[in-house]
Amino acid sequence: MNASVRLKLFGISLVLVVGVGLLSGLYLERQLRSWLMDRIELELLSQARLARDLLETAPELADAGAADALADRMGSSTGLRITIVDDGGKMLGDSSLDAADLAKAQSHRDRPEIDQALQHGQGTASRHSSSVHTDMFYIALPFRGVQVAGVVRAAMRLTEVDAAARRLRWVLFVAGLLGMVLAVGSSGLASHLALRPLRSLVRNARQVTSGADGGAKRLPVSSNDELGRLAGSFNELVDELDQTLSSLAGERDRLETILGGVTEALLALDPDDKVTHVNRAAIDLLELSRPPAGQSLLELVGVPALGELMERVHGQSSAVVESELSLPHGRTVLARAASIKSTGGTILVMLDISEMRRLEKVRRDFVANVSHELRTPVSVIQANAETLLDGALTHPLRGPEFTSAILRNAQRLSRLISDLLDLSRIESGHFALELQPTVVSSAVQRAVEPLSELAQRKRLTVHTHIAAELAVLADSSALDQVLTNLIDNAVKYTPEDGHVEIRATRAPQLQSGSAGLIHIDVCDDGAGIEPRHRQRIFERFYRVDPGRSREMGGTGLGLAIVKHLVGAMHGEVGVTDNPTGGSLFRVTLPAA
């Protein structure tokens, strides 16, 4: 039930008042009715004795009319029904019957009060009268007159007793109602006054549980009774609770600060592997839109290996288990799970090692590629040198041939080492760039001149379409190296009698107030590059056709150097299909 204590006390008081009033009324009515019946019996007995004495001294009872007249006078004077019966049961007179009814009346010898009076000297009965058709109370006494002997009977209608009982019930009802009103009013006032401290205690307790209004207030202790002691205990509880909450708030803030500063993803789980807490790093790692409190770990992550890891932790009372996992969105993590002995939960820590694994792969690929690229020219140099030492040095035809091979591979080895050093300086930030306005046409001219001899041998046509006023904000040496690598590749991979075109255009200006961008395009009509290679063409040692690239003397580092130099100059580089066939390399740099 949701009723208040005051209402409950009022209900109990009401039930008690009504119950006691009903029981008291029933008991009083029963006692009064019994007392009334006793009084009526005494009154009837007194009147019956008076009638008996009168009958025993009356001389004219032999006449039936005289007996009936005497009964009528006694009944009129007493207000009772007086009946005179001889010892044979014949009615001689009755104050309630006239002469005609009296003549037709039956014998009363079998009436219980008459029989008792004749046998025991007094008879009493309460029954329904067939002659007057109502309930009566009878008392009969025997008499012996001068001429007649018999029984005189005094009777009273019980309806009078019922009327008295009804009046009594009404009086009791009115008195009980007044008493109940007074009792309920006094009970309500008493409960209101007595429960005022309790209501204040309840109100403050609700403030404690809800945290409203800045917490609970202390209760005034105005008495030393039970409620006063309860208020004092509540005040002590509030003080201790305030201290505990302040301490917990401080600990929570410190914990949140620590967890927020931790770079590892941390998830706290309950015994059912449902998430109870996560830090910011976990939300970022798992790419969550909101904290996943209450969600199942496997539903959240969806990695079967993680479920196996959690089963291994649950199988031991105190354990720390590690495993390397791959998340659905491509991240590689090192997961460490530790069971919490006190709560049965688990702490899961995930460290994102995707970049570490990528760098390890890059390192392995780099070492493998460098080893392979170095091994080929070194092997050729070693083999040709050994051949020359074995006598080919003096051979007029083979000697120069082996010597030329040694020179070519030494040059290739030198270019490879030079490119590796350049790439290393660029990636480490030790390649100093001085960005300044640089005329594009001059830089292109400087890059084309060293390659003109090779272009002539292949009968290539090299066209430049660059406005003289176009200038970019770039490092002059870095731009020369970028253009040289791109044009050199275009000349190498364009078949004989082909075309190479270098053009520069100003990009549409998207933002007012800025200098804009310049596109420098190097186009050829060679074999082109398939789309599947375009994403990796700028990686170190990546070749579309490794055999052809080595045949032409490439190191596999030229485009990687181009990408890093262009990025250092705040630009972009990419490759697409040339509309006329072949490839189009585009370098985009800020306009000066």
Is residue 447 situated within a structural domain? Answer: yes
Shared domain check, 439 and 416: no
Q: Say yes or no to pLDDT of 42 above 70.
A: yes
Shared domain check, 502 and 362: no
* 3-state DSSP assignment of residue 544: coil
Closest Cα to residue 419, out of 372, 489, 481? 481
Which of 319, 352, 385 lies at the terminal end of a domain, its last residue?
352
CATH number of the domain where residue 379 is located: 1.10.287.130
pLDDT at 501: 92
Which position has the higher pLDDT, 238 or 519? 519
Q: What is the mean pLDDT of the chain?
A: 77
Q: Tell me: the pLDDT tens digits for 2-18?
A: 556 566 666 776 777 77
Shared domain check, 410 and 315: no
CATH number of the domain where residue 522 is located: 3.30.565.10
- Residue 34 has phi, psi (to 5 degrees) of -65, -40
Q: Say yes or no to pLDDT of 70 above 80.
A: yes
Which of 121, 144, 164 lies at the terminal end of a domain, its last residue?
164
Shared domain check, 439 and 420: no
Q: Say yes or no to pLDDT of 117 above 50.
A: yes
Q: Which of 121-125, 134-138, 177-181, 513-517 has the highest mean pLDDT?
A: 121-125
**HSE-CB of 97 using CA atoms within 13 angstroms:** 23
Shared domain check, 80 and 11: yes
User: Is the Cβ–Cβ distance between 450 and 462 less than 8 Å?
Assistant: no
Amino acid residing at 321 = V
Q: Tell me: the pLDDT tens digits for 350-369?
A: 777 777 777 777 677 666 66
Shared domain check, 100 and 28: yes
pLDDT at 61: 63
Question: What's the mean pLDDT in 512-534?
Answer: 81
Which position has the higher pLDDT, 260 or 107? 107
Q: Say yes or no to pLDDT of 511 above 60.
A: no
| Number of domains into which the chain is organized | 4
Which position has the higher pLDDT, 60 or 47? 47
CB-based burial label for 423 (10 Å; 0-12, 13-18, 19+): buried
Shared domain check, 321 and 270: yes
Helix (H) or strand (E) run with residue 393 in it: none
Is residue 249 situated within a structural domain? Answer: no
Q: Which of 122-126, 134-138, 484-488 has the lowest mean pLDDT?
A: 134-138
Q: What is the percent of the chain where pLDDT is above 90?
A: 6
Q: Say yes or no to pLDDT of 484 above 70.
A: yes
Is residue 239 situated within a structural domain? Answer: no
User: Is the Cβ–Cβ distance between 582 and 525 less than 8 Å?
Assistant: yes
What is the full DSSP assignment across 157-202? EHHHHHHHHHHHHHHHHHHHHHHHHHHHHHHHHHHHHHHHHHHHHH
d(CA 144, CA 55): 8
Shared domain check, 340 and 405: no
Q: Is 126 left (phi over 0), alpha (psi -120 to 50) or beta?
A: beta
d(CA 400, CA 406): 10
d(CA 113, CA 120): 10
pLDDT at 422: 67
Shared domain check, 535 and 482: yes
Is residue 95 situated within a structural domain? Answer: yes
Question: What's the mean pLDDT in 532-561?
Answer: 68
pLDDT at 104: 79
d(CA 130, CA 308): 102
Cβ neighbors of 554 (< 8 A, separation 6 or more) are: 489, 492, 543
d(CA 73, CA 403): 179
Tokens coding 344: 């049965």
Q: How confident is the model at residue 520 (pLDDT cuts 50, 70, 90)?
A: very high
pLDDT at 1: 46
Number of neighbours of residue 39 by Cβ within 10 angstroms: 10
Shared domain check, 92 and 9: yes
Tokens coding 296: 């199942």
Q: Which of 32-46, 157-171, 362-376 has the lowest mean pLDDT?
A: 362-376
Helix (H) or strand (E) run with residue 275 in it: strand 275-278
DSSP summary character for residue 218: P
d(CA 60, CA 151): 16
DSSP summary character for residue 508: P
pLDDT at 572: 92
pLDDT at 103: 77
Which of 119, 149, 164 lies at the terminal end of a domain, its last residue?
164
Which position has the higher pLDDT, 212 or 242? 242
Is residue 528 situated within a structural domain? Answer: yes
d(CA 491, CA 461): 10
Which position has the higher pLDDT, 361 or 194? 361
Query: Which residue segment(s) compose the domain that 418 sits in?
Result: 357-425
Is residue 185 situated within a structural domain? Answer: no
| pTM reported for the whole predicted model | 0.42
Q: Say yes or no to pLDDT of 106 above 60.
A: yes
pLDDT at 227: 63
Is residue 495 situated within a structural domain? Answer: yes
CB-based burial label for 414 (10 Å; 0-12, 13-18, 19+): exposed
Cβ neighbors of 540 (< 8 A, separation 6 or more) are: 365, 366, 369, 423, 556, 557, 560
Shared domain check, 126 and 15: yes
- Residue 63 has phi, psi (to 5 degrees) of -85, 125
Q: Say yes or no to pLDDT of 212 above 60.
A: no
Question: What's the mean pLDDT in 211-230?
Answer: 60
d(CA 47, CA 55): 12
In 77-165, the DSSP E strands lie at 81-86, 91-94, 123-129, 134-144, 149-157
Q: How confident is the model at residue 209 (pLDDT cuts 50, 70, 90)?
A: low
pLDDT at 519: 92
Q: Say yes or no to pLDDT of 550 above 60.
A: no
Shared domain check, 379 and 348: no
pLDDT at 522: 92
Amino acid residing at 513 = G
Total residues found in the chain within this entry: 592
Is residue 448 situated within a structural domain? Answer: yes
Question: What's the mean pLDDT in 417-427?
Answer: 68
Which residues make beta-bridge pairs with 351? 334
Q: Which of 266-270, 282-286, 498-502 has the lowest mean pLDDT?
A: 282-286
Q: Which of 104-108, 271-275, 390-394, 406-410 has the lowest mean pLDDT?
A: 390-394
Which position has the higher pLDDT, 432 or 155? 155
CATH number of the domain where residue 272 is located: 3.30.450.20
